[in-house]
Amino acid sequence: MKIGKETIPKTSISTSNADTIIVRGKNLSTELIGKTSFVDYFHLLVTGNAPTPAASAILNATLVAIAEHGLVPSVQASRMTLAAAPEVFQGAVAAGILGCGSVILGASETAGRLFWEIRERAGAAKNYHEAAREVATEYRNARIPIPGYGHPLHKEGDARVKALFDVAVVEGIDLSFVHIAQALENVLPEVTGKKLLLNVSAAIPAVLLGIGFPLRALKGVPILARTAGLIAHLAEELEQPIGFALSYQATREVQYAGSTPEDFIPSH
Amino acid sequence: MKIGKETIPKTSISTSNADTIIVRGKNLSTELIGKTSFVDYFHLLVTGNAPTPAASAILNATLVAIAEHGLVPSVQASRMTLAAAPEVFQGAVAAGILGCGSVILGASETAGRLFWEIRERAGAAKNYHEAAREVATEYRNARIPIPGYGHPLHKEGDARVKALFDVAVVEGIDLSFVHIAQALENVLPEVTGKKLLLNVSAAIPAVLLGIGFPLRALKGVPILARTAGLIAHLAEELEQPIGFALSYQATREVQYAGSTPEDFIPSH
Amino acid sequence: MKIGKETIPKTSISTSNADTIIVRGKNLSTELIGKTSFVDYFHLLVTGNAPTPAASAILNATLVAIAEHGLVPSVQASRMTLAAAPEVFQGAVAAGILGCGSVILGASETAGRLFWEIRERAGAAKNYHEAAREVATEYRNARIPIPGYGHPLHKEGDARVKALFDVAVVEGIDLSFVHIAQALENVLPEVTGKKLLLNVSAAIPAVLLGIGFPLRALKGVPILARTAGLIAHLAEELEQPIGFALSYQATREVQYAGSTPEDFIPSH
Amino acid sequence: MKIGKETIPKTSISTSNADTIIVRGKNLSTELIGKTSFVDYFHLLVTGNAPTPAASAILNATLVAIAEHGLVPSVQASRMTLAAAPEVFQGAVAAGILGCGSVILGASETAGRLFWEIRERAGAAKNYHEAAREVATEYRNARIPIPGYGHPLHKEGDARVKALFDVAVVEGIDLSFVHIAQALENVLPEVTGKKLLLNVSAAIPAVLLGIGFPLRALKGVPILARTAGLIAHLAEELEQPIGFALSYQATREVQYAGSTPEDFIPSH
């Protein structure tokens, strides 16, 4: 079935013949394997260009920042999935990635779009405070949550944010989006009535946009990062399984709120 | 419901309090972000230890080798999924990862187990040829396919194999598993009657086992690598969609082999 | 980590002790297995109540209408996934379900929300035409696509729509949402400048809302239906594999739009 | 890339032209929607034939038996995934389905293969006890677990088994595989030293093989069934979220077994 107008698929990422694989114009075997790091290769794959050393440092720092945060819900989902289907490593990874949605990890992309919008609004004048106030107020009025601010655990500020911004300063990248992110943090109490500090999901796009990483690929960064964390958890699960123990603990205090037959005696 | 005996979940990967995230004994914000590369962090996450420079070079090389190979079936599945559900980047990544199974990318792990078995069999004598012949013959008799040898496209040898083995030699890692992999290649014509050259899925475990990367995490390497490739394809899909064009092309010559009502006129 | 305020999980769907499983207040083994059809059980699971005969007929008809439509992109993705990982049936089903997004199958839910909004707007007066015109114009102005209208293949009307509406009439269900769906079809040429006929994704919520099926579960109907279709395709794939043939066809005319080294000779 | 020999995709499930969708030889809109139940349609899709009334009763009973069993690990994984990505219903369903693996739901298929093997072994003599003893002993010697026997909760027999076998008797289907399943239950104490009662995962293939349902599609039955249960849980999750509460409970007693910096104070 034909859906849409395009019928000839085009791609600019790679091609090959019987002997040679070309990726982004380079010979994979002679110019890339052993010659470039995986993270620089990721940058090349996504953008078509090798990163500058500063861009490479930033991309590495963001991937390290977000790869692992303990037994968060998506890691639990992944470990329970491996416990139930231990022969399917990739299925458990996929289950964990499916939890990288709007609430947990998706904020990297939506915060990136928000910063972009503030920068557009500020225009040549670059009054980021005023633009941040305007855009945040519009989000507020449209009842759209502000992505990338506040955290259930780190109420006094997320140390990962400071670490990422430090790398940005040391590497000398464009700090426009860092300033926008901070401007927004400053106006949020006024707009929302709450102190909502920058969290890691806002710091990531703030520094990635500063190296020219494309908006549309932002969501890929937490996904790639989290995949590394999931693989570590699943390797641990294969050695020391806890998927079913997590599941058991999760339901110890479950309350059944439905009806039961008269003669039914609950077991817990 | 209690499944199994363990009820208290344990993990050695990370812990945190309100201020600090500890990963493998290190403070994420002050000791890892900006201080270590993502690939070295992946090694730390999986094994508990930072890699040596040689181990880091090998791990990077394997990830680069396997991240991208064009519009393979799992990339097509991923791009079609994004075309159908463009709002769900993580769903399309997950769909692509689900294609990392036994036929396409899973051979890294199964070839690793095969090499391990050959090394065990060879014992102190280290006659890898003889052990490879024995084990390959047993696989053959049990009708288990030999993973990691042969390739539909690269019939004259996969240049990625040479590139990975070159890195192994230059970095001076333990080459036992490389020798085992080559010994197996040498005996396969005799055992199977076919020339079956080492492909990249065998070269990857051959060098990773040489840096002490754990067998049980081998499958994670092609999955992490392929996630990077998928993200690049999905970022391209968002900019220049081909998911539906691929789908259209795929079905242009489909033959319907079932019955139809008498008055039905096929449209193609 | 605590996310949100709730810490005690509650559910009204089922409970059990060592002998007995209670689902929605009924004993699974003595009151449900062999006593109720799977579709009626699905209705009970989702809503807490057994369906009336009319509701059962409607729910069955919608599930039949949407379960199968040939080698659509998500079925291709699913069959390619099984070809690559033939040992993981559930992974291939999951990959196929991930393609049930906004473009392909998600319209059932969004069209349902649109109809609900038109009904709210019409209020007691029940002038559905006027309300449909208003809401459709608002969608148009906000550049939100109208879900559930138009089809790439069935330009002269989707026979599944007629079939579903016939069942609705015969079964005597509440036809309000059918009338709303038709009112919207009538005003669309005026609002959009295009003839956009009701497709099956709009007909499904039109009849399901007429039996009181909850809005929030609407998306589940095409997913359950499509799962049946995927299982049939995967059972066929195990017997007569075409996943790789689809993939081969899909890329026969692919054009590589990137650069290549000077000495690279494309193979196709 | 060409993988394998087949290049022309063939399917016998469905075809269509601009007006008409044909499924298994029938016109979807005029012969199936409103004329057949969803479960009978599933049978038609998978096997090519409409079921007999007895086969329909059995297929419905098995789907009802396995659709729902409370907050099992895969349901928890699914609800946590929806909590993290509430905009992606299909992603949460997919995550839940990925937990339908060998340990939890996959036993339906593997038990089916085991029964098939016992029947082949018994041959014309139909001494199922002797054949069951032989095959179970071989499994035991090869250290392959016997699928479909024993249950963590229902130690005194699973009432769903009795319910399914009652339907089989009432409907008058071929009981060969029920007898094989019971023969195996009888010999297991002798072979394994443990009383291991038939569980629902063995009863399902025992009755489905009795209606001629194909072995290769057996795994589809618990997947389709469980999809219905997952949809009910996800609809409940959208109304009354517990995904994060489950996750919180799951980790309340987690022990961190790794090292920490000297100055780190655990929060729990």
Under an 8 A CB cutoff, do A4 and B156 touch? no
Query: Which residue is listed with tokens 């979807």?
Result: D28
**Token pair for A50:** 């090798």
- Chain A, residues 27-86, CB within 8 A of chain B, namely 28-30, 32-34, 36-39, 41-42, 45-46, 57, 59-61, 63-65, 67-71, 83
CB pairs under 8 A between A and D: 137
Res. A35: pLDDT tops 70: yes
How many alpha carbons lie under 13 Å from residue A87 in its C-beta half-sphere?
14
Closest CB to C33 among D46, D65, D101: D65
Please state which of the ranges A4-8, B137-141, C26-30 shows the lowest mean pLDDT: A4-8
What's the mean pLDDT in C85-114?
Answer: 91
CB B40 within 8 A of CB B50: yes
Contacts of A6 in chain B (CB under 8 A): 241-242, 244-245
| Contact between D229 and D68 (Cβ < 8 Å) | yes
Q: Is C144 on the interface with A (CB under 8 A)?
A: no
Residues of C in contact with D251 (CB under 8 A): 1
Chain C residue with Cα closest to D234: C217
Q: Distance between CA D254 and CA A70 in Å, rounded?
A: 10
Q: Provide mean pLDDT across the span B238-259.
A: 95
Please state, in angstroms and rounded to a whole number, the distance separating the CA atoms of residues C208 and C148.
14
Distance from CA of A134 to the nearest CA of B (A): 26
How many C/D residue pairs have CB atoms within 8 Å?
312
- C-chain residues near B243 (CB < 8 A): 73
Which A residues 106-125 touch B at CB under 8 Å? 106, 109
> Of the ranges B58-67, B122-131, B218-227, which one carries the lowest mean pLDDT score?
B122-131
| pLDDT tens per residue, range C134-143 | 999 999 999 9
User: 3-class DSSP state for residue A216?
Assistant: helix
Distances (CA, A) of A75 to A78, A219, B20, B184, B220: 5, 18, 19, 38, 15
Give me the mean pLDDT over the A247-265 stretch. Answer: 93
d(CA A113, CA A105): 14
pLDDT at B104 over 90: no
Share of chain D above pLDDT 90, in %: 84
List the single residue in C9, C20, C265 with the smallest CB-CB distance to A254. C9
> Closest-CA residue in chain A for D250?
A250
Angle D176-192/D128-141 helices, nearest 10 degrees?
50
pLDDT tops 90 at residue B62: yes
Q: What is the mean pLDDT of residues C26-54?
A: 98
* Contact list, C166 vs chain D (CB under 8 Å): 34
Secondary structure letter of residue A198 according to DSSP: B
Question: How distant is the Cα of A176 from the closest Cα of chain C, in angstroms?
Answer: 30
Please give the pLDDT value at position A107.
Answer: 87
The answer to whether the Cβ–Cβ distance between D251 and A249 falls below 8 Å is yes
pLDDT digits (tens, 9 = 90+) for A151-188: 766 667 889 999 999 999 999 999 999 999 999 999 99
Contact A85 D104 (CB under 8 A): yes
The yes-or-no verdict on residue A268 having pLDDT over 60 is no
Domains of chain C (ranges; CATH) run 107-217 (1.10.230.10)
* d(CA C20, nearest CA chain A) in Å: 8
Per-residue pLDDT tens digits for B160-203: 999 999 999 999 999 999 999 999 999 999 999 999 999 999 99
d(CA B44, CA A223): 18
User: How many Å lie between the alpha carbon of B11 and the closest alpha carbon of chain D?
Assistant: 5
Provide the token pair at C173. Answer: 């269900």
Q: How many whole angstroms separate alpha carbon D130 and alpha carbon D138?
A: 12
pLDDT at res. A65: 97
pLDDT tens for C183-217 read: 999 999 999 999 999 999 999 999 999 999 999 99
Considering only the beta carbons, identify the residue of C2, C216, C234 that sits closest to D238.
C216
pLDDT at position C18: 84
- Give the residue-averaged pLDDT of D122-150: 93
The residue in chain B having the minimum alpha-carbon distance to the alpha carbon of residue A105 is B90
pTM for the structure as a whole: 0.96
Residue B152 has pLDDT above 70, yes or no: no
State whether D227 and C231 contact (CB < 8 Å).
Answer: no
Q: How far is CA C259 from the centre of its chain?
A: 42
Residue D161 CB contacts under 8 Å (≥ 6 apart), including other chains: D197, D198, D199, D200, D202, D203
Model confidence at D268, pLDDT cuts 50, 70, 90, reads low
Phi and psi (nearest 5°) for D106? Answer: -70, -15
Question: Stretch C127-135: mean pLDDT, rounded?
Answer: 96
Q: Please enumerate in sequence order all residues whose Cβ is within 8 A of that of A185, keeping only pairs 6 or more positions apart, or say none.
A: A149, A196, A197, A198
Q: Which residue of A has its CA nearest to B166?
A: A34
Pairing, β D21-23 against β D26-27: antiparallel
Say what the pLDDT of residue D19 is: 86
Report pLDDT for B146. Answer: 93
Which residues in chain C are closer than 8 Å to A153, comparing Cβ atoms? 1-2
Percent of chain B residues topping a pLDDT of 70 = 97
- Write the pLDDT tens digit of every residue in A81-127: 999 999 899 999 999 999 998 777 778 999 999 999 999 999 988 89
D142 CB near a chain B CB, below 8 Å? no
